[in-house]
Amino acid sequence: MIIPVKWSDEGVEMLDQRLLPTEEKWLTLKTYAEVADGITDMVVRGAPAIGVSAAYGIALGAKNFVGTNMTDFEDELEYICQTLGKTRPTAVNLFWAIARMKRTFQKAKEEGKSISEIKQVLIEDAKAIHEEDIESQRLIAKFGGELLDDNSTVLTHCNAGALATGGVWGTALGVVRGAVADGKKISVIADETRPYLQGARLTAWELLQDDIPVTLITDNMSGHVMKKGRVQAVVVGSDRIAANGDVANKIGTYMVAVLARQHGIPFYVAAPLSTVDLNCPTGEEIPIEERNIREITHIQQIQLAPEGIDVSNYAFDVTPNEFVTAIITEKGVARAPYTESLRKQFED
């Protein structure tokens, strides 16, 4: 069972995903600033895992506060939230978790709790965010698993597995795990997901741990395998889903969605409601992270491209809702028109 981030008496424990699959090393992050760096540097990544880590980062920063003045405590918490909020821009789970922890603080303050009591309340709420995330993935696995046929192959992009969430199930890989738990025979084709190779390094590693058959392909092979009839469903995760069902996910997802449409293959998105941003009317408003060009020009120390070349390194793209067959959340399966079906899930 993979749980990539944990709270402990020493701090926030993170499985260093930068080293997988060749090394399994845990880091103990002892300050909120180290947690923020851990998110920026991709020690932990994947939208729900980023949200859980940010909640723990706030709890850790609060725990480490040494003063006795409530205003100073509040100012410090605000600064911690701002620091964590600058780590990665696309995954809305980050901002969702920060907003929830802020509300928890305000409520505890209004109830007249002391600083030490509020510290404990924040730790408890961060743990609750983590537990709720795992429970959401379990339900996503259940609802999504029902959509997959026995003896089918799922193509996935990036890593939307236990590593990318609070753990255990994952979102897209949760759907696969849910179908397997129902006794279905499912295999996976994993896009390697250039440039950061989350598919090759993380999805392949995770599925091997669970003995789920997985075949690795380069990103430019997905059209070919679809054309050959090797793919019965595409399932991906998301970093932010707009109110109209436009889906931001790892760069290359849009291409896969268009190819799936061309070949009549269902394209499913699996994500908890903490990934749905009703304040973003469409995908146009979703901020897209651009990362260091070295991820493209180099592989570790090896230079692949000429010195000084212009490079674009968009980390995410937006798939328009018309390509999305269904969005699977912990509340069930939402279908078009998403503006109504997603909003309804929040009300249920």
Q: What's the min distance (Å) between Cβ of 133 and ligand MRU?
A: 10
Structure tokens at 131: 């537990």
Query: Does residue 345 touch ligand MRU according to CB under 6 A?
Result: no
Work out whether 165 is an interface residue with ligand MRU (CB under 6 A). yes
CA distance 274 to 265: 27
Which residue is it, tokens 């605000």?
78
Residue pair 46/163 in contact by the 8 Å Cβ criterion = yes
Measured CA distances, 41 to 34, 35, 45, 88, 243 (Å): 10, 10, 9, 10, 29
Number of residues located near ligand MRU, criterion CB under 6 A? 17
Cα–Cα distance for residue pair 48/43, rounded to 1 Å: 14
Which of 191, 239, 246, 277 is flagged as catalytic?
239
Footprint of ligand MRU on 195-214 (CB under 6 A)? 198
Nearer to ligand MRU, 61 or 252 (CB): 252
How far apart, in whole angstroms, are the C-alpha atoms of residue 341 and residue 264? 23
Residue 126 binds to ligand MRU (criterion: CB under 6 A):
no
- Applying CB under 6 A, does 178 fall inside the site for ligand MRU? no
Q: Does 240 bind ligand MRU (CB under 6 A)?
A: no
Cα(19)–Cα(45) distance, rounded to whole angstroms?
13
Q: How far is the CB of 249 from ligand MRU (least distance, A)?
A: 5
User: Nearest approach, Cβ of 291 to ligand MRU (angstroms)?
Assistant: 8
**Nearer to ligand MRU among residue 64 and residue 85 (C-beta):** 85
Distance (Å, whole) CA 263 – CA 197: 25
Choose between 108 and 257: whose C-beta lies nearer to ligand MRU: 257
Beta pairing class for 233-236 and 152-156? parallel
Q: Cα-flanking dihedrals φ and ψ of residue 129, to 5°?
A: -60, -40
What does the block give as tokens for 330?
A: 């912990």
Q: Within 45-104, which residues bind ligand MRU (CB under 6 A)?
A: 45-48, 91
Q: Is 237 a binder of ligand MRU (CB under 6 A)? A: yes
CA–CA separation, 39 and 4 (whole Å) = 12
Candidates 27-35, 42-50, 72-80, 100-108: pick the segment binding ligand MRU (CB under 6 A).
42-50
Interface with ligand MRU, residue 238, by CB under 6 A: yes
- Judged by CB under 6 A, which of 126, 147, 160, 234 binds ligand MRU? 160
Let me know if 239 is a catalytic residue: yes
Which residue has its beta carbon closest to ligand MRU? 237
Least Cα distance to 207 among 172, 233, 231 occurs for 172
Active site residues: 239
Q: Which residues bind ligand MRU (CB under 6 A)?
A: 45-48, 91, 158, 160, 164-165, 171, 198, 237-239, 249-250, 315
